[in-house]
Amino acid sequence: MILLGQILEVLISGLLSGVLYSLVALGFVLIYKASGVFNFAQGAMVLLAGLALVRSLDFVAAQGFPMWTAIILGLTFAAAVMTLSAYVIERFVLGPLVNQDGLTLFMSTIGVTFVLEGLAQMVFGAEIYPLKLFPTDAWFLAESIFPGGILLNKLDVWGGLIAGVLVAGLAVFFQRTKTGRALRAVADDHSAAQSVGIPISWIWFVVWLVAGLVALVAATVWGTKLGVQFSITFLALKALPVLIIGGFTSVPGAIIGGLIIGAGEKLAEVYLGPFMGGGIEYWFGYVLALVVLMFRPQGLFGERIIERV
Partner 1 sequence: MRAPAASDIAAGEAILSVKNVSLAFGGVKAINDVSFDIKKGEIRAIIGPNGAGKTSMLNVINGFYHPQHGQITFKGRTRQAMRPYEAARGGIARTFQNVALFKGMSALDNIMAGRTLKMRRGFLWQMLRIGPALTEEIAHRRRVEEIIDFLEIQAIRKIQVARLPYGLQKRVELGRALAMEPDLLLLDEPMAGMNLEEKEDMSRFIIDVNDHYGTTIALIEHDMGVVMDLSDRVVVLDHGVKIADGTPDEVKSNQAVIDAYLGVAH
Number of continuous H segments (helices) and E segments (strands) in the chain: 12, 2
Does 306 help bind partner 1 (rule: CB under 8 A)?
Answer: yes
| 193 vs 289 by CB, closer to partner 1 | 193
Stretch that binds partner 1, among 62-70, 129-137, 167-175, 277-285 (CB under 8 A): 167-175
Provide, rounded to whole angstroms, the least separation between the CB of residue 173 and partner 1: 6
CB of 255 to partner 1, least distance (A): 19
Total interface residues for partner 1 by CB under 8 A: 28
Q: What is the DSSP letter of 234?
A: G
The residue within the footprint of partner 1, chosen from 148, 169, 278, 297 (CB under 8 A), is 169
CB closer to partner 1 out of 21 and 301: 301
Is residue 190 within 8 Å of residue 102, measured between CB atoms?
no
User: What is d(CA 194, CA 199) in angstroms, rounded to the nearest whole number?
Assistant: 6
CB nearer to partner 1: pick between 157 and 171: 171
Report how far residue 150's alpha carbon sits from residue 113's, in angstroms, rounded to the nearest whole number: 40
| Three-class secondary structure of residue 152 per DSSP | strand
| Exposure string over 220-233, b if 16+ CB within 10 A, otherwise e | bbbbbbebbbeebb
Is residue 83 near partner 1 by the rule CB under 8 A?
Answer: no
SS (H, E, C) 123-140: HHCCCCECCCCCCCCEEE
Q: Are 112 and 45 in contact (CB under 8 A)?
A: no
Range 179-198, binding partner 1 (CB under 8 A): 179-182, 184-185, 187-189, 191-198
Q: Does 127 bind partner 1 (CB under 8 A)?
A: no
Nearest approach, Cβ of 159 to partner 1 (angstroms)? 23
Burial class of residue 109 (count of CB atoms within 10 Å of its CB; 0-12, 13-18, 19+): buried
For the bound state, the minimum distance from the C-beta of residue 175 to partner 1, rounded and expressed in Å, comes to 9
Q: Which positions from 37 to 66 touch partner 1 by CB under 8 A, shown as an x/- string? A: ------------------------------
Closest contact distance (angstroms) between CB of 84 and partner 1 is: 21
Is 178 among the residues that bind partner 1 (CB under 8 A)?
A: yes
Please give the Cα distance from 31 to 105 (Å, whole number). 11
Q: How far is the CB of 249 from partner 1 (least distance, A)?
A: 7
Single residue of 153, 220, 249, 250 touching partner 1 by CB under 8 A: 249
From the CB of 308, what's the least distance to partner 1, in Å? 8
Question: Measured between alpha carbons, how far is 255 from 108 in angstroms, rounded to an integer?
Answer: 27
Q: How far is CA 83 from CA 11, 49, 80, 255, in A?
A: 37, 10, 5, 25
Which residues here bind partner 1, judged by CB under 8 A? 169, 172-173, 176-182, 184-185, 187-189, 191-199, 249, 303, 305-306
